Structure 1
Amino acid sequence: MNHPYYEYFALFQSYRYDFTSIGKNVIRKTVLFEQLDEENLFNLVLGDINSNGKVDVFAISDNG
């Protein structure tokens, strides 16, 4: 299979994946898997990485 893909980096024991969205703009993004108190239960977070290095889960990048 020869499909385009995003290069990604695994951080923090593979609970965080950073990648760059390339469309109308170039936007740094991340996917986080946050383990909750209950066993085998995770919160999945997708957000933009802002200029301060913080994850912005409310960003609407519309990078189509």
Structure 2
Amino acid sequence: MPKMKTRRAAAKRFTETGSGQFKRNKAFKSHILEKKSPKRKRNFRKAALVSKSDYKRVAKLLPNG
């Protein structure tokens, strides 16, 4: 059986935490920033965790951790 390949696009976007969850960056922070409040833009910087409903899908894209 050959090795399973990792989806490189997913590998660049998600990192696995020690507890096995996946960390992700937030969307909507790259342009059209004038109308967004400073508080909202500041919160975009913080990482979030992949939701329970998407976990299985992301795990399938990253078979080797």
TM-score, structure 1 as length reference: 0.38
Bigger helix share: 2
Q: Highest CA radius of gyration, 1 or 2?
A: 2
TM-score, structure 2 as length reference: 0.38
Bigger strand share: 1
